[in-house]
């Protein structure tokens, strides 16, 4: 699966691109891209949409996830997320 940062795709497409997918933090998904040998990081905007925000290697994925975890709610609000955001505080 070849996608660009900022591209909004279906959750099914995001998860189908790799051999695994995992929700690291609420609203933040990671999927392995076998074809290109890296991990894709996406923000789940709602039940069916994910915005691809970054890619990482196994060596730097934790650092990238920590950077994006703090921004999940901002992007969900910006893109009109319908998700229950009660676990986030401002």
* Domain chopping of the chain, boundaries: 8-78
How would you class 12 by CB atoms within 10 Å of its CB: exposed for 0-12, middle for 13-18, buried for 19 or more?
exposed
pTM of the model: 0.80
Backbone dihedral region for residue 80 (phi beyond 0: left; psi -120 to 50: alpha; all else: beta): left
What per-residue confidence (pLDDT) applies to 79? Answer: 87
pLDDT (tens digit, 9 = 90+) per residue, 14-52?
Answer: 888 665 666 667 889 998 877 778 899 999 998 899 999
């Amino acid at each position: 699966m070849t996608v660009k940062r900022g591209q909004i795709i279906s959750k099914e497409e995001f998860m189908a691109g790799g051999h695994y997918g995992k929700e690291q933090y609420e609203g933040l998904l990671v999927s392995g891209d076998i074809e290109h040998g890296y991990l894709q990081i996406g923000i789940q905007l709602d039940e069916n949409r994910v915005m691809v925000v970054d890619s990482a290697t196994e060596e730097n994925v934790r650092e990238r996830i920590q950077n994006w975890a703090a921004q999940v709610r901002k992007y969900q609000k910006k893109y009109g997320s319908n998700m229950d955001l009660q676990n986030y505080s401002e």
